[in-house]
């Protein structure tokens, strides 16, 4: 039996095992190589994803620093990112919380307390000796109480009537209204600042365009004059004069370019944008509407001004403060309820085995009858504060009327000035064109061309200044009439 099994083992199993062993070994090797390959592929994929994500993040970050805004988009951006606007929104939230805080004063107030006492020495009380049959005038020292004492209590308070609290509720709501209107004023001031800065950039761009056009024409004239000088048809002084003009114009271009950079940075600052960001403007000077000033006949134009509504709200606050000072002459009434448990023992281990409860409810009436005349003078001062606000309102109405009248005159003058400077600029350009033609045909002098170039440059500068004044006066007039609302 055992010999047959040994023979089967030698003849069948052993050869089969010998033949299978290399296959198993090769399979293990292939499996290990495959796993290593898969791990490498996974590593490559992870690295690729990380690099792609990093490039995408950098691209997104780069794109987020490139902006191209119209005037409206610039103002909208500033109303979201400008620090003053953000702080005004925070003030609104503070005002809302203040209202809720004031409201909470009149709601139920619940408090709890707990104390634990360990008398190292019990207090001594002296009793008359007569109580214990002692001679009169003698005192008997006795100690009362337990070594350990503990008390837990809960108390409820409710304000029933307080005149100053009722006035405070009204004042807190008015304070919230004041913060909202102050936030609106901040938005309007931000919009005005952004608009003026935006127009400054547009004007600088327009000035740069005019200078570039002048440089192009001047370079051509200088090139032609140099050619004529080489051929003996012109003098060296003619070339020098034009070269001086070109140098001055190039210097002016550099100054305007730097000023443009400063104006763009100022615009970004007014918008609450990072100075490192790239900003380009989509609006053009030609797209800005400049209409003739229309006389404002509405005598109540001041009611559209946020400054007037702010002062009206301040007057309401002063009137409420007057009511609050008067309310101090009235009493205050509040209710309370409390419950407590007292624990006493000479052993700490059984201190809380027995308790001695106490509960109480009641009312508290407080009335300050005489205060040395302090409240009377506080009421008088509150009345004077209301009077001051009324005077400020009257003065502000007069001031707004003056701003509107002055703004209309300045805007009308600026509009006429721009129209005149545009005509002067066209005349200066025509004079320069004719002077160049005469010079090229040999019937004019280089001095005539140089003078015409200088006149054109002066006309351009006057036009730029008039254009800037017009745009700024337009913003001031819109602000004075209350037509800027955000």
Of 256, 205, 262, 202, which is closest to residue 71 (Cα–Cα)?
202
Give every CB contact of residue 269 below 8 A, 6+ residues apart in sequence: 275
Model-level pTM? 0.75
CA distance 287 to 281: 12
**DSSP codes of every residue in 243-309:** HHHHHHHHHHHHHHHHHHHHHHHHHHHHHT--TTSEEEE---GGGS--PPPPP---TTGGGG-HHHH
Tokens found for residue 91: 């003030």
**DSSP secondary structure code for residue 10 in this structure:** I
Q: Could you tell me which residues are beta bridge partners of residue 111?
A: 155
CA distance 7 to 3: 6
- What SS3 string covers 20-83? HHHHHHHHHHHHHHHHHHHHHHHHHHHHHHHHHHHHHHHHHHHHHCEEEECHHHHHHHHHHHCH
C-beta separation of 88 from 80 below 8 A: no
pLDDT tens for the chain, residues 1 to 486: 434 444 544 454 444 434 444 443 343 343 444 344 334 444 444 444 444 444 433 433 434 588 999 999 999 999 999 999 999 999 999 999 989 998 898 899 999 999 999 998 888 888 887 777 778 778 888 888 888 999 999 999 999 998 888 898 889 889 999 999 999 999 999 999 999 999 999 999 999 999 998 888 888 888 888 888 888 777 888 888 889 988 999 999 999 999 999 999 999 999 999 999 999 999 888 777 666 656 666 667 888 899 999 999 999 999 999 999 999 899 999 999 999 999 998 888 888 888 899 999 999 999 988 888 888 999 999 999 999 999 999 999 999 999 999 999 999 999 999 999 999 999 999 999 998 888 878 787 878 888 898 899 899 999 999 999 999 999 999 999 988 888
CA distance 246 to 251: 9
C-beta separation of 153 from 113 below 8 A: yes
- What SS3 string covers 110-135? EEEEEEEEECCCCCEEEEEHHHHCCC
C-beta separation of 444 from 431 below 8 A: no
CA distance 42 to 49: 10
């Amino acid at each position: 039996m055992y010999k047959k099994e040994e023979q089967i083992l030698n003849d069948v199993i052993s050869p089969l095992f010998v033949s299978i062993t290399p296959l198993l070994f090769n399979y293990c090797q292939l499996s290990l190589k495959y796993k290593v390959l898969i791990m490498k592929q996974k590593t490559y994929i992870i690295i690729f994803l990380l690099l792609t994500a990093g490039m995408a993040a950098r691209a997104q970050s780069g794109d987020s620093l490139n902006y191209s805004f119209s005037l409206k988009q610039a103002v909208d951006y500033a109303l979201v990112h400008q620090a003053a606007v953000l702080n005004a929104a925070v003030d609104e939230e503070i005002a809302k919380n203040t209202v809720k805080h004031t409201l909470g004063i009149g709601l139920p107030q619940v408090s709890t307390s707990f104390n634990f006492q360990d008398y190292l020495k019990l207090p001594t009380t002296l009793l008359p000796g007569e109580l214990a049959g002692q001679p009169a005038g003698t005192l008997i020292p006795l100690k009362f109480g337990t070594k350990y004492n503990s008390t837990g209590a809960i108390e409820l308070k409710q304000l029933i009537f307080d005149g100053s609290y009722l006035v405070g509720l009204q004042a807190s709501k008015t304070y919230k209204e004041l913060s909202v209107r102050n936030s609106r004023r901040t938005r309007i001031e931000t919009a005005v600042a952004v608009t003026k800065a935006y127009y400054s950039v547009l004007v600088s761009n327009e000035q740069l365009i005019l200078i570039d056009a002048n440089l192009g024409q001047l370079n051509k004239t200088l090139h032609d004059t140099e050619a004529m000088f080489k051929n003996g048809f012109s003098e060296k002084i003619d070339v020098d004069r034009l070269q001086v003009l070109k140098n001055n114009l190039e210097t002016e271009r550099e100054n305007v370019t730097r000023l443009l950079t400063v104006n763009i940075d100022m615009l970004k600052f007014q918008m609450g944008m990072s100075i490192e960001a790239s900003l380009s403007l989509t609006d053009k000077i030609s797209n800005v509407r400049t209409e003739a000033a229309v006389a404002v006949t509405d005598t109540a134009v001041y009611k559209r001004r946020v400054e007037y509504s702010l002062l009206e709200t301040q007057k309401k606050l002063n009137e409420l403060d007057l009511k609050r000072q008067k309310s101090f002459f009235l009493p205050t009434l509040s209710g309370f309820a409390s419950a407590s448990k007292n624990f006493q023992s000479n052993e700490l281990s059984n201190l809380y085995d027995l308790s001695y409860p106490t509960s109480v409810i009641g009312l508290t009436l407080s009335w300050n009858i005489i205060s040395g005349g302090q409240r009377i003078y506080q009421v008088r001062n509150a009345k004077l504060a209301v009077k001051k606000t009324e005077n400020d309102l009257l003065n502000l109405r007069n001031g707004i009327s003056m701003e509107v009248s002055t703004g209309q005159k300045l805007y009308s003058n600026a509009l006429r000035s721009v129209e005149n400077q545009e005509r002067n600029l066209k005349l200066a350009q025509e004079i320069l064109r004719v002077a160049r033609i005469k010079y090229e045909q040999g019937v004019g002098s280089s001095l005539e061309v140089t003078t015409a170039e200088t006149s054109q440059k002066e006309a351009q500068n006057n036009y730029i200044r008039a254009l800037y004044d017009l745009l700024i006066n337009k913003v001031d007039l819109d602000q004075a009439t209350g037509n800027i609302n955000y």
